[in-house]
């Protein structure tokens, strides 16, 4: 199996477009992770259904966040996306997030060519406020049954902040190579 991190680039993040590989579909309670060493997806654990993902979850290839994993992405779509696909996405912003005292930010995006929504989502402010509340609640509480108080959403920031997070994650990847 090909290694996404060696084939796919991060995309043209400076223009607000990135490549995203989907790990977990919207509504899934399976914690599926990309196993870089073995170049395949792995079921890490099964979460309680109460903590199913509020949107698709994935990563940007050839990036490393401060936690040592690929930079995470929250991809907003009307329907769940399949594990393992990749798509071009338009960056809307970033959720600043800390997990067990490690920075673990999440870039928020939509498909680059989202004809179903008429490309109406251009910024975080365009997303439904209820969805933002659900995302914040999910990430503040999804580890409560196992390790309460270990996750904290620090806030949401716009496109320019997301680009800085992506740029730093690409640099970390390049420095690690």
Binding site members for Mg(2+): 67, 72, 104
How far, CA to CA in Å, does 133 sit from each of 19, 37, 44, 90, 137?
A: 26, 35, 26, 21, 6
DSSP string, 69-117: SPEEEEE--SSPPPTT-EEEEEEEEEEEEEETTEE--EEEEEETT-GGG
Q: Quote the Cα angle for 137-140-144, to 5°.
A: 110
Phi then psi for residue 125, to 5 deg, are: -65, -20
Are the beta carbons of 87 and 80 closer than 8 angstroms? no
CA proximity to 13, closest of 175, 161, 135: 161
Binding-site residues from annotation for substrate:
31, 45, 57, 142
Residue 145 phi/psi, 5-degree rounding, is -75, -25
- Residue (of 72, 33, 64, 71) closest to 176 by Cα position: 64
Binding residues: 31, 45, 57, 67, 72, 104, 142
């Amino acid at each position: 199996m090909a290694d996404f991190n060696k084939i796919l680039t991060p995309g043209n993040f400076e223009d607000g477009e990135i490549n995203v590989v989907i790990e977990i579909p919207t509504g899934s309670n399976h914690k599926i992770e990309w196993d870089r060493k073995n170049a395949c997806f792995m079921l890490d654990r099964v979460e309680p259904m109460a903590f199913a993902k509020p949107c698709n979850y994935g990563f940007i290839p050839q990036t490393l966040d401060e936690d040592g994993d690929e930079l995470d992405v929250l991809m907003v779509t009307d329907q769940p996306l399949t594990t393992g696909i990749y798509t071009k996405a338009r960056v809307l912003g970033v959720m600043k997030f800390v997990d067990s005292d490690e920075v673990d930010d999440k870039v928020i995006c939509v498909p680059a060519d989202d004809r179903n929504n008429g490309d109406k989502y251009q910024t975080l402010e365009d997303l439904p406020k209820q969805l933002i509340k659900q995302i914040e609640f999910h990430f503040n509480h999804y580890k409560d049954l196992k390790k309460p108080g270990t996750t904290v959403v620090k806030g949401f920031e716009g496109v320019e902040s997301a680009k800085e997070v992506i740029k730093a994650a690409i640099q970390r990847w390049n420095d690690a190579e």
